[in-house]
Chain A
């Protein structure tokens, strides 16, 4: 299996201090890297406007490059349009927050990025979704989904051990192969990146459903990371969690954006302000505004955004 080989290469090599960067297999052209367009703490040398800066936590400057893009993406359920003609860029090195009132189509948009929306029989999609310069319709849907991971509103570990949960995506259908020994470095690495390793290192064989809600959600992050996704989609990942677990998950997300492009749907504007580098505001299926977090929250261009971030929509 091709995937497996990549995994083994990318697993944490013993003795290496810094986890090796993920190799991204780009089958057509190389992805343009926009030098200088980074998110991070203020850097006066680049002369950026204050609102262009990362809104939230302190971190080192990181490269930003495009991973995913939608072109005139529209989705309708039956006759009802949920998302209409959305152009969106998803960059690695950034956290993109989709905000907007309930029913504005942000979850539908998110679910269309890994084609999960196709599980709804009535859903119809037009427009293109590009992953690393390739139309996602050209690859096998299972391959797409292992490159674009997803985290759900409710923590949903599978009823198996912690180890097996993380190894789930790496194993072939219905079998226990590859063996535990081969998978162990990847599983450990994924748990470390999800910030869960210290808590579960001694009981990898315990049932995952016995963990607390916040731990379960981080386990789900580890489960997604184990298959080395390039993009991670988060659908209100903290809505079922307490504030402390939420804080831990947010820290994990901010750390992860160095390696994975992150798209998060959230109802919580404070959360978006804390962790997002870019924000897309959606209203009734339209993408009203898309820009750096500081700009969308600090100086929104559209009146509807202004109203929403100011609490006008309630």
Chain B
């Protein structure tokens, strides 16, 4: 994470024939003497750049270090395998198996929707994109979704999924009121969070495929659909995976949608009938941390720190995976 300022440093390159920095020299064609070397402004700028870079490192190390210290202190293995219980005493309030599984389910639903939809949009934008006006409209749509705060998405989702014809996605109370909160409804809003990342990474991957690779496929008598399916999508695979993994990281870390649309219940509560778990409510690590933190209702900081540490590890692991995916399996043409 450190910034290598040596390569970015302004001023002349080291040159053995050049006089020492600061020494006045006569340069041909400049009409007079010029000061070489770094001015005081450059020096201050360089120092500031160093300082900023190191500060960021300190912040990153502090987050991981502090969470690791607290996490190792409070995290016990049985917390990962036991459900949360209603108790004021932190020693009897159980673990966070349900939130952990909830995070997993929600992430899978989110990327499960976001990958096919996002890849489809990216392929259309990159390979077809006509009429141009429609393409621009789709692009701004993607930007709007990307820029919408997740709490707004959550409220919007609640509005949509509480409509009576959306009853199949969640619990319907006696009298016909649709609850609107379930893994499915939260997952589909989570998909909107991951979608711009999937679209962006896929588009970038498709753009990086040289034109002559597409033409080589056409030159073998293949049509566009076949080229997309057999050449372009396999070539963009690592880009798609990168986007999906970034999206998973975002879904894991989102709290607002969970609180509003998943119910943020203490335990996972499946509904009766087909797909009961998906139509039921639950919680994730983020809502668990929020509810147990001093600002939440639980006031169980030990549990909050332990869960936050697990969440941080999951997200860091995903980011690490992004780096790995980006390096491997990416086709390289000259």
Alpha-carbon gap, A119 to B222, bound state (A) = 13
**B220 engages A119 (CB within 8 Å):** no
Can you list, as one digit per residue, whether each of B219-239 has a CB less than 8 Å from chain A (1) or not (0)?
111110110011100110000
**B221 engages A156 (CB within 8 Å):** no
User: Is the C-beta of A131 less than 8 angstroms from some C-beta in chain B?
Assistant: no
Q: B210: shortest Cβ distance to chain A, in Å?
A: 7
**A153 engages B212 (CB within 8 Å):** yes
**A154 engages B215 (CB within 8 Å):** no
User: Is the C-beta of B160 less than 8 angstroms from some C-beta in chain A?
Assistant: no
**B220 engages A227 (CB within 8 Å):** yes
**A169 engages B215 (CB within 8 Å):** no
Alpha-carbon gap, A159 to B213, bound state (A) = 10
Contact status of A156 and B333, CB under 8 A, knowing A142-B223, A173-B226 = yes
Q: Which of B210, B212, B221, B234 contacts A169 (CB 8 A)?
A: B221
Alpha-carbon gap, A224 to B221, bound state (A) = 10
Q: Which residues of B contact A146 (CB under 8 A)?
A: 220-221
Alpha-carbon gap, A209 to B217, bound state (A) = 16
**A150 engages B221 (CB within 8 Å):** no
- Kindly report which residue of chain B lies nearest to residue A143, judged by CB atoms: B221
User: Is the C-beta of A26 less than 8 angstroms from some C-beta in chain B?
Assistant: no
**A149 engages B218 (CB within 8 Å):** no
**A142 engages B221 (CB within 8 Å):** yes
Alpha-carbon gap, A108 to B210, bound state (A) = 18
Contact status of A156 and B218, CB under 8 A, knowing A173-B229, A174-B226, A209-B332 = no
**B218 engages A119 (CB within 8 Å):** yes
- Kindly report which residue of chain A lies nearest to residue B223, judged by CB atoms: A142
**B217 engages A158 (CB within 8 Å):** yes
Number of interface residues of A (CB under 8 A): 31
- Kindly report which residue of chain A lies nearest to residue B211, judged by CB atoms: A119
Alpha-carbon gap, A227 to B226, bound state (A) = 16
**B212 engages A156 (CB within 8 Å):** yes
**A159 engages B235 (CB within 8 Å):** yes
Q: Which of A3, A149, A156, A223 contacts B210 (CB 8 A)?
A: A156
Q: B205: shortest Cβ distance to chain A, in Å?
A: 11
**B223 engages A173 (CB within 8 Å):** yes
Q: Which of B221, B223, B231 contacts A227 (CB 8 A)?
A: B221
**B219 engages A145 (CB within 8 Å):** yes
Q: B307: shortest Cβ distance to chain A, in Å?
A: 41
Alpha-carbon gap, A160 to B226, bound state (A) = 15
User: Is the C-beta of A168 less than 8 angstroms from some C-beta in chain B?
Assistant: yes
> From residue 231 to 273 of chain A, which have CB atoms closer than 8 A to chain B?
240
- Kindly report which residue of chain B lies nearest to residue A150, judged by CB atoms: B219
Contact status of A160 and B234, CB under 8 A, knowing A145-B218, A150-B219, A152-B215 = yes
Q: Which residues of B contact A114 (CB under 8 A)?
A: 219
- Name the residue in A142, A143, A144 with the highest tally of chain B Cβ atoms < 10 Å from its Cβ: A142
Contact status of A152 and B235, CB under 8 A, knowing A169-B222, A173-B222, A213-B334 = no
Q: A117: shortest Cβ distance to chain B, in Å?
A: 10
26 contacts between A and B (CB under 8 A): A119-B215, A142-B222, A143-B221, A145-B220, A145-B221, A146-B221, A149-B219, A150-B215, A150-B216, A154-B333, A155-B333, A156-B212, A156-B213, A156-B333, A158-B216, A158-B230, A158-B235, A159-B231, A160-B234, A168-B220, A169-B222, A171-B230, A173-B225, A173-B230, A174-B229, A174-B230
**B residues bordering A, Cβ < 8 Å?**
210, 212-213, 215-223, 225-226, 229-231, 234-235, 331-334
**A residues bordering B, Cβ < 8 Å?**
3, 114, 116, 119, 142-146, 149-150, 152-156, 158-160, 168-169, 171, 173-174, 209, 213, 220, 223-224, 227, 240
